[in-house]
Structure 1
Amino acid sequence: MELSLIDLAIFFVYMAGIVGFGVSFYFKNRTGKDYITGGGRLPAWALGMSIFATYVSSISFLALPGNAYQSNWNSFVFSLSIPFAALIAVNFFVPLYRKLQSPSAYTYFENRFGPWVRIYASICYLLTQLARMGAILYLLALPMEALLGWNIPTIIVLTGLLVMIYAMMGGIEAVVWTDAIQGIILISGAIGCLFLIILRIPGGIDQVLEIAKNDHKLSLGSFSLNWSESTFWLVLIYGLFINLQNFGVDQSYIQRYIGARSEKEAKLSTWLGSLLYVPVSLLFFMIGTALYVYYQINTQLLPIELSGLDQADKIFPYFIVSSLPVGLTGLLVASIFAAGMSTLSTSINSSATVILEDHFKKYLSSSLPQQSEISILRTASFAMGLASIGVALAFNGVLSALDAWWALASIFSGGILGLFLLGILTKIKSNLPPVLGVILGLIVIGWISLSDFFQSLGFLSLTIHKNLAIVLGTTAIFFVGFFVGHLIKPFKKP
């Protein structure tokens, strides 16, 4: 079932409006600082909405309702970890980076452990962003294939080019302001959708909650300490580490800290963006649960090919096209694109910043005219955009793109969070402790992330959940670095 002409018109007007609005910031970028941080003049509410929109990718928009439809609210525990990470961020990370006043997050690593860590961390970041952008583009194309009737490669190329155009030309201000708009559209569309689903259920919200409770759809997971399953505690710990990594070493977040008018506004934007995601993610889970109840009551409305729980991620897109009024369908499709575009534009801009600050200016030419900086930033944005399209096309046909992304993200993150914590929580300055920590940490991360592969080869594999890769890898880097640092201290010359 494809979109009506009215819905298509709404969708295309939205796309043209977003791209045009983003490109309009082209003339405001007179310096590299303008392009990277918006000249430090961005308001807290817009930065907060941008942080929120970066959190909500198209993966979240489709996967969270699908997850609730298929199982329960266990994954919502991830959202519950965000306030704890945000509390640490506003008290320690934001002041640290505001004081450093470097456009790059990885200047701190060089100050603590030397140039090699800066190179290592920045390359890990670029690889992670490429994998992330490719996965998001591909996963966005899957439902769009059904909604628009286009083939997957066409959707990948078109979406990638559109985002690349405004991110490349408009810089961080284009990214932040379009994120703010897209965040508002995303929330409005989701609220409208949930409202309509509940209206179509005879007993309303009471019936939704009653059936969901009886079928154990509202469970947050087991409270056991079984580390091989997705329990409440495992998801909470995993979420805490992922969010500490986001707030502490993710270039896109650090640029927003610096882009705020003051440290107070930087903290406010961090709280706004992170705390807004909690109720909105709850909204997505509620949509998935409401859809479960709706199709339990109206089984005849669900095609036989979508009746299996393994098709859960396709239920929400199907409902959008088949059941929503004309006009609102176009808005919801635009919302799904909004979720993907906001994450992509952020990754493109932050990656270009890393290429300029951590590689070009550091090792090729430290002193550049402002126009040259902007030219390099736009060229790097163009290159990363094209590369992400290539990665997305390579994902086409992969058995599970989401599983592939999780494995790549764990490996490419390279335990950077462990190095960061080693830097801020210890006084170690020698190179040996972090080097040994990284080596062991990567072994742990690779062993857990690729356990299925190793098992197929007959090697020993761990019977623990793959989400623990970042937790145990980060922990290994920190403790190995900490203990080695204290062991070699007595052998140093006074």
Structure 2
Amino acid sequence: MAGHPVDYIIIVGYLIFIAAFGIISGGKQKSVDDYFLGSKSVPWWAVCFSIVAAETSTLTFISIPGLAYSANLNFLQVTIGYLLGRIVVAFIFLPAYQKGELKTAYSYLENRFGAKTRSFASIIFLFTRTAADGVRLFATAIPLKLMLNISYPLAIIIIAIVTLVYTYTGGVKGVIWVDVVQMFIYLGGAIIAAIFLLNIIPGGWNGIYSIAETEHKFSIINLGMDKGISDFFSQPYTLIGGLIGGAFLSMASHGTDQLIVQRLLTTKTLKDSQKAIIGSGVIVIIQFTIFLIVGVMLYAYYGKINAKPDEIFPKFIIEVLPPGVTGIIIAGLFAAAMSTLAGSMSSLSSSTMIDLFIPLKNKISSNLNAQRSIVNKNELKISRMITILWAALLVLAALFFMNTSQAVVELALSIASFTYGGLLGTFLLGILLKKTKQKEALAGFTIGIVTMIIVISLKIIAWTWYTLVGVSATIIAGFLIGVFLEKKN
């Protein structure tokens, strides 16, 4: 694809603006707390928008319209589950986090079980987040590679460097405020595409409705009872599967994943963090509705053509939209990706620094309290160096997945699903079962991960059930091992 000069100007201008805005909005940081927690001074509504932007990647921007194009609106059942899961996080997880002046999601695990559990959870997070976001970084490089006619490695490096600039200088506060802007950019891009489709399809909305309704594209509820019990669990978008799967996935991603929890810890009060997490669930339902409706419109425009569902929206952006508009929407595509990537860099470096490096240093050094301001300054420098390290590792992960034949959205979801069940199960062991100790928690966590490796490898059930299975395996194993050890003693 040869891009129009206007599109190049818009995209380059956007990338420069975002980098500058992130640097300015982040302000100056004097300590690790400033850098990773924004001095707990970020308003709840900004955190709310930032959460939505962080969980919305290029995969969402491209794949969700493709989902409605090839099927219908059944995915909305999952988004209702997302909201239910966030309500649980707001009233069960966040109060537990607020009790201990926590700086990462995994600090809670140390307070509840011990340092080994915290370190294990943090290391698992580091590996899975790097792999999953490496896939997302590669997906983001695809349109840049097509527009500029450059290699994938160069496209990946350009996006990573722009994102690193404002993450490195602005810290989490800069990341959050950039996310606020980027959410409106990518949502605006989707709405602009919808308006164009509305105007170029004969008959406007009535024409779209008549074509889509014939193929049942507006179907939202799927009870999934028309087939046997084995088929029921192999369908990802049934009502029960969507609600339960969406709720447990959201509890894991928003209650135990440092990418999101880091943002919630930047608010002033528990009430603010609760408003942010629940508000994000409402916005996500609206956002996915917009993406899905765009997919229905694309079906009305193209009909059934020989193309992968994930290719339909990019095909429309590149081939149909006029110059300038194409640039805006591709900028929106980058916005969706960079918000996730920036959050990934910040959360990876914060977990490395706060969960692993500082505890290890405190253990080794006996003179940390002396000249605390110098220590703070050194820790801030180290934090920034760690951010650069993780940016480089994300680039390497993207290069590793460059030649994958699997659909990138499936790959990213599968990677996260390997550990989400075990991670959420371990947190629930700590919150719900007061007698559980570190040995049982670590054993349950490990069994949960092994269970998910088997379940995903054998493709026994649909992805919406993955987290529930992992959580169940972790809690049951942890509980039974605890009972066994108690009897033994």
Query: Would you call these one fold, judging by a TM-score over 0.5?
Result: yes
Q: Taking structure 1 as reference, are residues 249 and 155 closer, same or farther at Cα in structure 2, changes over 3 Å only?
A: same
Q: Which amino acid aligns with 2:236?
A: S
Query: Alignment partner for residue 310 of structure 2, among 307, 310, 313?
Result: 313
Query: Alignment partner for residue 258 of structure 1, among 254, 261, 265?
Result: 265
Give yes or no for contact 2:421–2:469 (8 Å, CA) kept in 1. no
- Separation in 2 of the partners of 1:378 and 1:447? 38
**Cross-structure match for 2:281:** 274
- Separation in 1 of the partners of 2:96 and 2:244? 24
Give yes or no for contact 1:418–1:473 (8 Å, CA) kept in 2. yes
Cα deviation, 1:135-164, whole Å, max 9, x if unaligned, reads 111111223333443332221111011111
**Aligned-residue offset at 1:412:** 4.2
**Aligned-residue offset at 1:126:** 0.5
Give yes or no for contact 1:98–1:257 (8 Å, CA) kept in 2. no
Cα RMSD (Å): 1.9
**Cross-structure match for 1:381:** 387
**Cross-structure match for 2:427:** 420
**Cross-structure match for 1:454:** none
- Separation in 1 of the partners of 2:259 and 2:476? 27
- Separation in 1 of the partners of 2:27 and 2:474? 45
- Separation in 1 of the partners of 2:328 and 2:121? 39
Cα deviation, 1:12-39, whole Å, max 9, x if unaligned, reads 1000000111123565111111111111
Larger mean Cα displacement after TM superposition, 219-228 or 35-44: 219-228
Q: Which amino acid aligns with 1:75?
A: F
- Residue pairs, 1:68-87, within 5 angstroms: 68-87=68-87
Q: Which amino acid aligns with 2:382?
A: I
Q: Taking structure 1 as reference, are residues 463 and 245 closer, same or farther at Cα in structure 2, changes over 3 Å only?
A: closer
- Separation in 1 of the partners of 2:237 and 2:176? 35
Larger mean Cα displacement after TM superposition, 174-183 or 112-121: 112-121
Cα deviation, 1:51-109, whole Å, max 9, x if unaligned, reads 11012111100010111112222333221112111211221222222222121211111
- Separation in 2 of the partners of 1:144 and 1:13? 14
- Residue pairs, 1:55-454, within 5 angstroms: 55-220=55-220, 221-224=222-225, 225=229, 226-232=232-238, 233-296=240-303, 307-309=305-307, 311-365=308-362, 367=368, 369-400=375-406, 401-413=408-420, 415-451=422-458
Q: Taking structure 1 as reference, are residues 425 and 312 closer, same or farther at Cα in structure 2, changes over 3 Å only?
A: same
- Separation in 2 of the partners of 1:272 and 1:135? 28
**Aligned-residue offset at 1:222:** 4.8
User: In structure 2, the residue corresponding to 1:463 is in which secondary structure?
Assistant: coil
Q: Taking structure 1 as reference, are residues 441 and 359 closer, same or farther at Cα in structure 2, changes over 3 Å only?
A: same
Q: Taking structure 1 as reference, are residues 437 and 26 closer, same or farther at Cα in structure 2, changes over 3 Å only?
A: closer
- Separation in 1 of the partners of 2:129 and 2:384? 17
Query: Alignment partner for residue 479 of structure 1, among 461, 467, 476?
Result: 476
Give yes or no for contact 1:24–1:170 (8 Å, CA) kept in 2. yes
**Aligned-residue offset at 1:491:** 4.8
- Separation in 1 of the partners of 2:283 and 2:135? 24
Give yes or no for contact 1:68–1:289 (8 Å, CA) kept in 2. yes
- Separation in 2 of the partners of 1:266 and 1:431? 28
- Separation in 1 of the partners of 2:27 and 2:108? 31
**Aligned-residue offset at 1:414:** 6.6
**Cross-structure match for 1:31:** 31
Give yes or no for contact 1:69–1:288 (8 Å, CA) kept in 2. yes
Cα deviation, 1:193-220, whole Å, max 9, x if unaligned, reads 1111011112221222222121122234
Q: Taking structure 1 as reference, are residues 414 and 125 closer, same or farther at Cα in structure 2, changes over 3 Å only?
A: farther
Q: Taking structure 1 as reference, are residues 40 and 26 closer, same or farther at Cα in structure 2, changes over 3 Å only?
A: closer
**Aligned-residue offset at 1:239:** 1.4
- Separation in 1 of the partners of 2:137 and 2:122? 22
**Aligned-residue offset at 1:429:** 3.6
Q: Which structure 1 residue ranges, 5 or more long, are not aligned?
A: 300-306, 452-461
**Aligned-residue offset at 1:441:** 1.6
The answer to whether structure 1 residue 51 and structure 2 residue 51 are counterparts is: yes
- Separation in 2 of the partners of 1:95 and 1:139? 37
**Aligned-residue offset at 1:467:** 4.1
Give yes or no for contact 1:49–1:180 (8 Å, CA) kept in 2. yes
Count of aligned pairs: 472
Give yes or no for contact 2:86–2:281 (8 Å, CA) kept in 1. yes
Identity %: 29
User: In structure 2, the residue corresponding to 1:396 is in which secondary structure?
Assistant: helix
**Aligned-residue offset at 1:192:** 1.5
Q: Taking structure 1 as reference, are residues 361 and 45 closer, same or farther at Cα in structure 2, changes over 3 Å only?
A: same
**Cross-structure match for 1:458:** none
Larger mean Cα displacement after TM superposition, 157-166 or 340-349: 157-166
Larger mean Cα displacement after TM superposition, 158-167 or 226-235: 226-235
User: In structure 2, the residue corresponding to 1:28 is in which secondary structure?
Assistant: coil
Give yes or no for contact 2:81–2:244 (8 Å, CA) kept in 1. yes
**Aligned-residue offset at 1:116:** 1.5
**Aligned-residue offset at 1:488:** 3.9
**Aligned-residue offset at 1:487:** 4.5
- Separation in 1 of the partners of 2:446 and 2:43? 41
**Aligned-residue offset at 1:391:** 0.5
- Separation in 2 of the partners of 1:187 and 1:491? 58
Cα deviation, 1:430-458, whole Å, max 9, x if unaligned, reads 3343233233322210101212xxxxxxx
Q: Taking structure 1 as reference, are residues 68 and 148 closer, same or farther at Cα in structure 2, changes over 3 Å only?
A: farther
Q: Which amino acid aligns with 1:63?
A: S
Give yes or no for contact 2:143–2:330 (8 Å, CA) kept in 1. no
**Cross-structure match for 2:460:** 463
Larger mean Cα displacement after TM superposition, 436-445 or 468-477: 436-445
Larger mean Cα displacement after TM superposition, 483-492 or 109-118: 483-492
- Separation in 2 of the partners of 1:29 and 1:463? 49
Q: Which amino acid aligns with 1:358?
A: D
User: In structure 2, the residue corresponding to 1:261 is in which secondary structure?
Assistant: coil
Larger mean Cα displacement after TM superposition, 268-277 or 22-31: 22-31
Larger mean Cα displacement after TM superposition, 132-141 or 145-154: 145-154
